[in-house]
C-alpha cells in the first residue's frame, strides 16, 4: 500500500475519529506533507519511538502510540511477566499526559498492571521506579530535547535500562504485527482502578529517589558549609527537572538556588526557547541574564525529561561565564567523584568507567590514572546500561561512572539511564568542594586539562528532513563507507572501523579484524596524534552526526587543531 492509499484509508475508515480526519483533510492539496506523514511507520531508534505530533503513520498520535503499546503488551504477555506490571511516566510536552494515560489503560485492558505517575516526572526517576517497583518494563512519554512539535515513547526493561538488542527488535516486530488498529484493547479508567490494574504513583517515589541520590554525596559537610555561600542558577527549561531539583538541593544545604522564573513551570510549547536543549547556548540566555544579576557561581539547565545537563560556570579571573560541553561537565564530575572515592578508600579495585565511542578520549586517561577499566560502547545510554546489567548478573565488576558526550551521565547504579538531576547535585557538590579549596569549577576544569592534556571534542549535525532528506543521509553514509579515505585534513587515517559490517581495517598493513560491537550504522576513523572522527545518522532525528576529537598541549593549540579537523571532516562528507 503506497502513502496516498494509506492517507485515503485514514480519511475514510471508521476506525479513525473525526478530529483525525479533519486534520488530514486540511492537507489534501499538499502532497509533500501527505507523503511525509505516510511514507513510513515510526520505528524504534536509539531512544525508542519519536516523531512529530499529528495524524499519520509517521507521526506521534493516539493510533501510533496505541499500536506501540499493544505490541509491547503482546510481547510482555508472551514473556509471561505481566504480573510484574509496567511503570509509566511523562514529561511536559504536548499530549504527553494523554499518551501516558492511554498507554496505561491499554496495558490494563490486556490484564497488565500499570503504575502511572500522578504527574510529570524526570526520566531518571522512571528508570529508578522500574527497579524499585520490580516491574517487567517501563514507558516514558518524552521527546527528550527535541523541538516542541515532537513527542516520543521510550521503552525500558526490568533492569531500568532502555531496551537493547535483541529485545528491541523482538518488540518492534510485535508492534509491526499489530496490523489493524482495531486490535488495540481498551478499558476505561474507572474500571481499570476498580480491578486493581491502574495504580497511581505519588510523592512516595520522589522521596525514595531523593534518598538514594543523597546517599551518593561524598562530602555532605562541605556541601552544607559552602552551600551557605555558593550561588546557583537552575532552569528546567519548562520541563520536569524542578519536580525534584530545587527540593533536593535545598535539603542538601544549598541556600542560594535561583530557579529561572520564566522557565520554572512545565510548558510543552517551550515559549522562551526555540529548542529546549541544554547543548544549545541560546537555551541559556535568560539563565545567564539572571546569573549576572545575582553574581552566580554556577548556571545549570536540564532538558524537558531531565536526563541531560548543560552548565556554565564563572571564571573568577575574567568574570565571564564559561560554557562546558557534555564531555567536559561529565568528566569534571568523574574526576571529582573518582578522586574523592580514591582518597576515602572506597574506590572499587574492579571498578568500571563506561563511555561511548564518540565521547572524549580523556575518559581513558582518567580511568587509567585511577586504575579503572574503561569500557567503550556504542552511542546511546542503553548500551551503558547493558554493560551494567551484565556486570550485575556476573557479579564480577563494580560500576563507578558512565557518560556519553550528549550531556548525560550516571553517578551510581540505582538507575540505568543518564540522570540530569543527579548531575545537578554532583556538580553542586563539586563546586562546594573546590570552593573549600579556594577554586572555582572552571579552575578545576583547567586543572584536569593540565593534569591529563587538553582533550577537545566537537559534534556537528547536518539536518536533512523529509523523504528526500532521509535518502540524502543514506547516500552520505554509503559514499563514506565505500570511499577509502587515507587522510582527514593533515592527519593520516590509522584505523578505519565500519561497525555495521563489523570490520576494522588497519590502513597501514591492510589487516582486517572485527569490531566486537553490536551492528550499528557507524563509521569511525582513528587518526594520528591522538585524533579521531566518527560519523553516524541520528536514531531519533532527521540528521547525520559528525563527531571528532583531538589532544593538544595547550588550550589554544587544541582549539586550533579541532577547528581544522572539523573543517576537513565537513569537506569530505559534503563532497
User: Is 144 annotated as catalytic?
Assistant: yes
Contact 310, 279 (CB under 8 A): yes
Helix (H) or strand (E) holding 292: helix 285-294
Do residues 131 and 125 make contact, with C-beta atoms less than 8 angstroms apart?
no
Find the catalytic residue in 89, 96, 127, 144: 144
Tell me how far the alpha carbon of residue 462 is from its chain's centroid.
19
Q: Decide if 99 contacts 50 (C-beta within 8 A).
A: no
C-alpha 384 chain-centroid distance: 12
- Mapping DSSP to helix (H, G, I), strand (E, B) and coil, where does residue 209 land? helix
Q: For residues 500 and 480, what is the distance between their CA atoms, to the nearest angstrom?
A: 13
Give the DSSP letter string of 87-118: EEEE-SSTTHHHHHHHHHHHHHHTT--EEEES
Q: Greatest CA span in the chain, whole angstroms?
A: 70
Sign of CA dihedral 264, 267, 272, 278: positive
For residues 359 and 362, what is the distance between their CA atoms, to the nearest angstrom?
Answer: 9
Strand 543-552 relative to strand 454-463, pairing: antiparallel
User: Which residue in 320, 409, 406, 425 sits closest to 366, CA to CA?
Assistant: 409
Q: Is 405 exposed, middle or buried (0-12, 13-18, 19+ CB in 10 A)?
A: buried
Residues 6+ apart with CB under 8 A from 348: 398, 400
Instruction: Specify whether the CB–CB gap between 76 and 136 falls below 8 A.
Output: yes
Q: List the beta bridge partners of residue 297.
A: none
Q: Which of 315, 314, 309 minimizes the C-alpha distance to 331? A: 309
First to last CA, the chain: 36
Q: Which residues are catalytic?
A: 144
Amino acid at each position: 500500500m503506497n502513502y496516498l492509499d494509506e492517507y485515503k484509508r485514514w480519511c475514510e475508515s471508521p476506525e479513525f475519529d473525526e478530529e483525525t480526519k479533519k486534520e488530514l483533510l486540511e492537507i489534501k492539496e499538499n502532497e509533500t506533507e501527505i507523503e511525509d506523514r505516510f511514507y513510513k511507520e515510526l520505528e524504534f531508534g536509539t531512544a525508542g519511538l519519536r516523531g512529530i505530533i499529528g495524524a499519520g503513520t509517521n507521526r506521534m498520535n493516539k493510533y501510533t502510540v496505541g499500536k506501540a503499546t499493544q505490541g509491547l503488551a503482546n510481547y510482555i504477555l508472551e514473556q509471561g511477566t505481566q504480573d510484574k506490571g509496567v511503570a509509566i511516566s511523562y514529561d511536559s510536552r504536548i499530549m504527553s499526559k494523554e499518551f501516558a494515560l492511554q498507554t496505561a489503560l491499554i496495558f490494563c485492558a490486556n490484564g497488565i498492571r500499570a503504575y502511572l505517575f500522578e504527574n510529570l516526572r524526570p526520566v531518571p526517576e522512571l528508570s529508578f521506579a522500574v527497579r524499585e517497583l520490580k516491574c517487567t518494563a517501563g514507558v516514558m512519554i518524552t521527546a527528550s530535547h527535541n523541538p516542541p512539535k515532537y513527542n516520543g515513547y521510550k521503552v525500558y526493561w526490568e533492569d531500568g535500562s532502555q531496551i537493547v538488542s535483541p529485545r528491541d527488535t523482538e518488540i518492534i516486530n510485535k508492534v509491526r504485527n499489530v496490523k489493524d488498529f482495531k486490535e488495540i484493547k481498551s478499558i476505561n479508567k474507572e474500571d481499570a482502578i476498580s480491578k486493581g490494574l491502574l495504580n497511581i504513583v505519588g510523592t512516595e517515589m520522589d522521596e525514595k529517589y531523593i534518598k538514594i541520590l543523597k546517599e551518593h554525596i561524598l562530602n555532605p559537610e562541605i556541601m552544607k558549609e559552602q552551600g551557605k555561600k555558593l550561588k546557583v542558577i537552575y532552569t528546567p527549561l519548562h520541563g520536569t527537572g524542578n519536580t525534584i531539583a530545587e527540593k533536593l538541593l535545598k535539603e542538601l544545604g544549598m541556600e542560594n538556588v535561583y530557579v529561572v522564573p520564566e522557565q520554572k513551570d512545565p510548558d510543552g510549547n517551550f515559549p522562551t526557547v526555540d529548542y529546549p536543549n541544554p547543548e544549545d547556548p541560546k537555551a541559556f540566555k535568560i539563565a545567564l541574564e539572571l546569573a549576572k544579576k545575582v553574581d552566580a557561581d554556577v548556571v545549570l539547565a536540564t532538558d524537558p525529561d531531565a536526563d541531560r545537563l548543560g552548565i556554565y560556570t564563572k571564571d573568577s579571573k575574567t568574570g565571564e561565564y564559561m560554557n562546558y560541553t557534555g564531555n567536559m561537565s561529565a568528566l569534571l564530575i568523574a574526576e571529582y567523584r573518582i578522586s574523592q572515592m580514591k582518597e576515602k578508600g572506597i574506590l572499587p579495585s574492579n571498578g568500571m568507567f563506561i563511555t561511548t565511542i564518540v565521547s572524549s578520549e580523556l575518559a581513558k586517561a582518567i580511568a587509567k590514572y585511577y586504575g579503572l577499566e574503561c569500557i567503550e560502547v556504542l552511542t546511546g545510554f542503553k548500551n551503558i546500561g547493558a554493560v551494567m546489567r551484565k556486570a550485575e548478573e556476573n557479579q564480577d565488576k563494580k560500576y563507578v561512572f558512565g557518560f556519553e558526550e550528549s550531556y548525560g551521565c550516571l553517578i551510581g547504579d540505582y538507575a540505568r539511564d543518564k540522570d540530569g538531576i543527579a548531575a545537578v547535585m554532583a556538580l553542586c557538590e563539586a563546586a562546594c568542594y573546590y570552593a573549600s579549596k579556594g577554586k572555582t569549577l572552571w579552575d578545576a576544569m583547567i586543572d584536569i586539562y593540565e593534569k591529563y592534556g587538553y582533550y577537545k571534542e566537537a559534534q556537528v549535525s547536518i539536518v536533512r528532513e523529509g523523504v528526500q532528506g532521509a535518502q540524502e543521509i543514506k547516500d552520505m553514509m554509503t559514499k563514506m563507507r565505500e570511499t577509502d579515505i587515507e587522510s582527514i585534513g593533515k592527519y593520516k587515517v590509522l584505523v578505519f572501523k565500519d561497525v555495521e559490517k563489523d570490520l576494522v581495517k588497519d590502513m597501514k598493513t591492510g589487516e582486517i579484524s572485527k569490531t566486537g560491537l553490536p551492528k550499528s550504522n557507524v563509521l569511525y576513523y582513528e587518526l594520528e596524534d591522538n585524533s579521531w572522527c566518527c560519523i553516524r545518522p541520528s536514531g531519533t532525528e532527521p540528521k547525520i552526526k559528525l563527531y571528532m576529537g583531538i589532544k593538544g598541549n595547550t588550550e589554544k593549540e587544541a582549539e586550533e587543531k579541532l577547528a581544522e579537523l572539523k573543517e576537513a571532516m565537513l569537506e569530505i562528507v559534503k563532497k
